[in-house]
A and B are shown apart, each in its own frame.
Chain A
Amino acid sequence: MKSLQGTWAIGRNTFTELVRMKVFYFLLIFALLIIGNSAFVSKFSFQEQFQMLKDISLGAMSVFSSLLAILATANFLPKDMEDRTIYTILAKPVPRFSYLLGKLLGILLLLALSILLMTGLFLLVLWLQERGVLTETRAQLQGAPAEELQTALKEVAAATFNANLLPGIAIIFVKSALLASLTLFLSTFASSGLFAILMSVAIYFIGHLQATAREYWLSGMDIHWWARVLAAVVALIFPDLQAFNFVDDVIAGVAVPTGLFLETMALGGLYVAVYFFLAAMVFAGREL
């Protein structure tokens, strides 16, 4: 129980520390991006405007959350060691495991809040745009038969908010949580924050090719032994980040089946747990 309280306290402190580092300023850029986009695309049809708003907003959400996960996590251990705060914390009866878990918890809290805020902002802009188009449509179809008006209004509503967007956003969160956990693992043996950042970014790109490497490795094609070994290494060591890429399809209006959504969330949770476990294992043996 005491260990849990300690973990929670570290998590809270981590979160507060990140907030004090003014990481939420990126929300300003996000807001500028989606509001600016709305103004810029006003010459397009309303369907195009909504499509682009969703494309840009969810794409930006994915970029910002991934960047935040990597950048915020990579610096923690090296910074705590440099500032010597880690020694103060670990000198108390706080297990290293709890310390690490608290750090991850703080970062996950930050990611969840950031994604919630970005979602709120995106939905607000979408709603305001929808209201504008609905008013315009009503004015244009004044005097038209009620059925025609209803069909037009339905068309506008169908082009805006879609409940399928929410699972897509949840998967963005899981992907960023995976990246945070992975970066935490890398930072347990990294000598600097920069090393952890570079490694995480490289893994981010390679992770999106893991599925291709896996197929290549398991396809039984006649390839050089070294190519097969390379594909096997990529398939075994790197996470399958393509498995978390639903957002592009969700924007296009495709529904993610509940089973597939839950399986993807479970895979994300598994990656987070395994990377955290490995991070704790390496960190437990690290000389401080």
Chain B
Amino acid sequence: MILRRMLSVVLLAAFGAAVIPFQISLAAHAKAAQLRSTALNLELRERIGQMGFLAALSGFRSPLAAFLWIEAHSAWENTEWGRMAGIFNTVTTLQPRSLLYWDMAAWHMAWNASVAAMQDEKQPSEALRIRAQRQYFNLGRDFLERGIKNNPDRYQLYLQLGVLLRDKLEDHSAAVDAFLRASEFPDAPPYCRRFAGYEMAKIPGREREAYEFLKALYQQGEKQRLPTLVNLLRQMEKKLDIPASERVDNP
């Protein structure tokens, strides 16, 4: 009996050795498919505690992220923006492939926390309020950029980054790049290219390029001929003094 037990352990080790190349190849395939890319390191261990880390290690990252998300919601209700940012960092570390968490974290920071910072009655200095607001905008941008690094194969976060750059940071050039990058994905909605065109039109010195870009979209057919696009083209034709023969037709 003891001999059999010992033999079973030896056989188990032999099987373990034989299966290692297969395990390594499987891990490489998973990495190539961007699966199991969560960085379970000491920093995360400090943030989520021992039990949380144990749960994350044991394959329960997603329920843990969901519970923390509920906690972040409570922090939002109490307008604890700093705590929220910390929880969002943990949640996005636990579930780096979930677009929703990156997107919502960026939205809370750039839209909600930034407005709260501007309306902070405890801060009499407007300059400091504006500074805090910018910091939250940049925090939102940082979430989206880190989200893109973890999900370079999906358009959604590029699009959201474009929206943030357009509406909050008013960096039109960077917004054009983000919208164009989003539009390169086959499943991206057609408005990504239109948004890129609208932003390009706001950049001094690129009006002619923007006009050609928007005109090309207009010529793609009825689906692109939305009132915003047509009105913008009309305004640009006047501004750039485009000859009547080259102007787009009235829709």
Contacts and interface: CB of A to CB of B under 8 A. Distances in A.
B91 to A, nearest CB: 11
A243 B33 contact: no
A256 B8 contact: no
Interface stretch (B64-72, B113-121, B168-176, B203-211): B64-72
B4 interface: yes
The residue among B13, B30, B38, B99 with the most chain A CB atoms within 10 A of its own CB is B30
B8 A282 contact: yes
Given A249-B97, A252-B95, A241 B59 contact: yes
Interface in A124-174: 151
Given A48-B69, A214-B23, A237-B12, A59 B62 contact: yes
B17 interface: yes
Interface residues of A, number: 62
A244 B98 CA distance: 19
A48 B100 contact: yes
Interface of A is mostly: helix
B60 to A, nearest CB: 5
Contact of A278 (B8, B24, B98): B8
Interface size class of B (residues with CB under 8 A): 35 or more
Interface string B23-51: 11111011001111110000000000000
B69 A52 contact: yes
B58 A208 contact: yes
Nearest to B153: A254
The residue among A55, A240, A270 with the most chain B CB atoms within 10 A of its own CB is A55
A246 B66 contact: no
B98 A59 contact: no
Given A245-B36, A286-B1, A44 B73 contact: yes
A285 B4 contact: yes
B30 A51 contact: no
Nearest to A172: B59
B7 interface: yes
A60 interface: yes
B215 interface: no
The residue among A246, A249, A260 with the most chain B CB atoms within 10 A of its own CB is A249
B113 to A, nearest CB: 17
Contacts of A247: 59, 62
Contact of A287 (B1, B66, B104): B1
A75 interface: no
A151 B19 contact: no
Interface string A173-210: 00000000000010001000000000000001100110
Interface in B51-105: 54, 57-66, 69-70, 73, 94-95, 97-101, 104
Given A44-B73, A62-B59, A274-B15, A151 B20 contact: no
A284 B33 CA distance: 43
B5 interface: yes
B26 A256 contact: no
Contact of A253 (B24, B26, B57, B97): B97
B152 interface: no
Nearest to B15: A274
A204 to B, nearest CB: 7
Given A51-B100, A59-B63, A263 B29 contact: yes
Given A281-B4, A286-B1, A235 B38 contact: no
A58 B62 contact: yes
Contacts of B36: 242, 245-246, 248-249
A264 interface: yes
The residue among B9, B58, B63, B98 with the most chain A CB atoms within 10 A of its own CB is B63
6 contacts: A51-B98, A55-B62, A59-B60, A214-B20, A214-B24, A287-B1
Q: Which 9 interchain pairs have the tightest Cβ spacing?
A: A59-B63, A236-B16, A55-B66, A252-B97, A252-B98, A285-B4, A55-B62, A245-B59, A248-B61
Interface of B: 1, 3-5, 7-9, 11-13, 15-17, 19-20, 22-27, 29-30, 33-38, 54, 57-66, 69-70, 73, 94-95, 97-101, 104, 189
Interface of A: 40-41, 43-45, 47-48, 51-52, 54-56, 58-60, 62-63, 151, 185, 189, 204-205, 208-209, 211, 214, 218, 235-238, 240-249, 251-257, 259-260, 263-264, 267, 270, 274, 278, 281-282, 284-287
